[in-house]
Amino acid sequence: MYITEEHNPRLPFLRDKTSKLTTSPGVYIMKDKGGKIIYIGKAKNLHNRVTSYFRKGQDHLPKVWKMVSNVNDYEFIVTDSEFEALVLECSLIKMHTPKYNILLKDDKGYSYIRVTNEPYPRIQAVLQKTDDGAEYIGPYTSSFTVKQAVEEANKVFRLPTCTKIFPRDIKKERPCLNYHIKRCMGVCTGHFGEDEYRKTVAQAVDYIKNGSAQSVERLTAEMERAAEDLEFELAAKLRDRINAITKAAESQKVIDETIPDCDIIAISQNVDIACASVIMYRGGRLTDKADYFLGERAEPAQMMEEFVLSFYAMKEDAPKNVLLAEEPADIEMLEQYLREKYDHAVYVSVPKRGHLVKLCTLAKNNANEFISVRVGRTGREVAGLEELARALGMEKPPRFIECYDISNLASSDMVAGMVVFENGRPCRKFYRKFGIKTVFEQNDYACMTEVIERRFAEYKKGEDEGFSQLPDLILLDGGNGHVNTIRPVLERLGIKVPLYGLVKDDRHRTRAIATGNGEISLLKSRGAFALVTQIQDEVHRVAISYQKSKRKKSSFTLELTQVRGVGDKKAQKLLREFKTKEALKNASLEELRAVAGVSMETARELKSIIDEMS
């Protein structure tokens, strides 16, 4: 977004002031016309950084554009180094809480794990502690962690999670599906006594409190004692439980003694907004998770740096390791700042391989889910758009995607379909269909050229809602040849929109994205691959269905033109009026005569032909 004097009349003054600004490092303080501080930033070179806000023709993200449009004046403080500027920036932001800086609030409640007081106790996640005789474990600051731990314990120890009450409902009805898929021990079958069940619950509570390693040690000792006492059935049950814990420990990320104390931070950005998720491990356990809405989207590296600084500004301590899902603007400076703030070693890194990458993925998935609630989209849709933008090198995920496909049968009934996806979902009200008008022989490139020219001619008219929106991305059902044909067309029309092709394999499935001089594989980007496959399948469906309907109309037209005095125009007029063969057959002679504009004798011939249609 470009800013002009129309948006901020103070731009000439600000540009003149900035032209004399020092090139030293420091902090700049933006103020509105009321003198209120609205943004604080740091710079390695004050002149270059502040100039970038007010430069003519500078393209800003929406959040920055709004800030610059409200700047009336600014102050600056020169420092000896960029690091000193960073420390000063954090201090000033905490003091003034400017509107356009990332500001976080930590106002979370508490959660508990409840072990109910009844003959067959249940393990549950609750938000409040009440005086009901139950055992409560906690408090925990993260409801996410509590739910994960309870679900894991119930799954590993196969505890019932249904609404049945025991012993009242034992043998009252057949076991549910959880029993048959080995997710529940089946207390309702009557095969488990109260004492045995309580021992199992005690083992599950021990698992929650102490983790998998200690639980396995204790259960192994119990299994060996049972075997020595010749209680082989009990020993077998304990063996199965140990195997279940071991298997769960291999895949789950809630309890893992090999994970060092760390915070894992990821940011998810949709078209207009951004959210952050922080997952915290202490003592080999996932102890907390926090989600933050960051407002409007911004440049990823800068947003990551600002968020990390804001997050730790309200924390009394930091772990030894801070893992980031994306590179910040200056990782070394962040590390130095955290070390000096907390007076102990802090290592900031962006994992590229190994099990720590999976933790970053977990944080990223949580950020995607958090943002999906805000924008009314699923986490998978948000991730798909982000992955697609990253694969194509786009600055932000595309909000509107248009895709085109040509369909024909040899050189007859040539048509095109256009589908629109908004925020990762089909927007059917903007779908359009084209009948090819200027191409008379099979030529996909020429047909696609006509369609693109007609589509953007309508855009320039601005009369059709579906055509008046400029897309953020254009996809063509075709390879490099299609891209190289259409790119010059867009340039000639003055349309600056990223253009790519969708390449299929021998089985007509999406394989890659064509760039014009090569291909981009999406095999490692599952979300993006699923999205473009859905788009390609949808545009193919629209084009094929339109081509079939047009071919059917053509056959009707050919039959109707057998009547003397009825040409293509009159036949088309009849088809437009009555739309279906059934409606044509039900039409009266008078209706046929009036619509086609023919004599009653010709209408009778028409009626005869229509009645004989199969």
- Rounded to an integer, the average pLDDT of 373-381 is 68
Angle at 584 between CA 583 and CA 587, to 5 degrees: 85
- Rounded to an integer, the average pLDDT of 550-560 is 64
pLDDT at 251 over 50: no
Q: Which amino acid is at 572?
A: Q
Predicted confidence band of residue 561 (pLDDT cuts 50, 70, 90)? confident
pLDDT for position 142: 62
Of these ranges, 250-259, 455-464, 575-584, the one predicted with the greatest mean pLDDT is 455-464
Task: Kindly list the strands in the beta sheet with 273-282, ordered across the sheet, starting from the edge strand earlier in the chain.
Answer: 285-296, 273-282, 262-269, 321-324, 347-349
392-547 matches 561-612 in fold: no
- Rounded to an integer, the average pLDDT of 585-589 is 84
- Rounded to an integer, the average pLDDT of 425-438 is 89
pLDDT at 410 over 70: no
Predicted confidence band of residue 250 (pLDDT cuts 50, 70, 90)? very low
Contact criterion met (CB below 8 Å) for 203 and 241? yes
Q: Tell me which of 476 and 438 has the higher pLDDT.
A: 476
pLDDT for position 293: 80
How does pLDDT run across 262-316, given as a tens digit for each residue? 999 999 887 667 888 888 888 777 777 778 888 766 788 888 998 898 888 878 8
How do the domains of the chain map onto residue ranges? 11-96, 111-251, 262-376, 392-547, 561-612
pLDDT at 456 over 90: yes
The CATH architecture that domain 392-547 belongs to is: 2-Layer Sandwich (3.30)
pLDDT for position 32: 92
Hey, what are 559's tokens?
Answer: 């039959």
Of these ranges, 43-47, 134-138, 381-385, 412-416, the one predicted with the greatest mean pLDDT is 43-47
132-140 contact pairs (CB < 8 A, 24+): 135/205, 136/112, 137/112, 137/113, 137/205, 137/208, 137/209, 138/110, 138/111, 138/112, 138/113, 139/110, 139/111, 139/112, 140/110, 140/111, 140/112, 140/113, 140/287, 140/288
Of these ranges, 153-162, 320-329, 517-526, the one predicted with the greatest mean pLDDT is 320-329
- Rounded to an integer, the average pLDDT of 375-395 is 80
When mean pLDDT is compared across 91-100, 405-414, 523-532, 534-543, the lowest value belongs to 405-414
pLDDT for position 585: 80
For domain 561-612, give its CATH number from 3.20.20.240, 1.10.150.20, 3.50.50.60, 1.20.140.10: 1.10.150.20
% of the chain residues with pLDDT over 70: 88
Burial letters for 386-399: b for 16+ Cβ neighbours within 10 Å, e otherwise? bbbbebbeeebbbb
CATH tag, 262-376: 3.30.420.10
Predicted confidence band of residue 374 (pLDDT cuts 50, 70, 90)? low
When mean pLDDT is compared across 85-89, 169-173, 480-484, the lowest value belongs to 85-89
Average pLDDT, the chain: 83
Give the separation between CA 249 and CA 367, rounded to whole angstroms.
24
How does pLDDT run across 354-368, given as a tens digit for each residue? 888 888 888 888 888
How does pLDDT run across 23-70, given as a tens digit for each residue? 888 999 999 999 999 999 888 899 999 999 988 877 777 778 889 999
- Rounded to an integer, the average pLDDT of 581-603 is 83
Predicted confidence band of residue 558 (pLDDT cuts 50, 70, 90)? low
pLDDT for position 144: 67
Three-state secondary-structure class, residue 322: strand
CATH tag, 11-96: 3.40.1440.10
What's the alpha-carbon Rg for the chain, to the nearest Å? 33
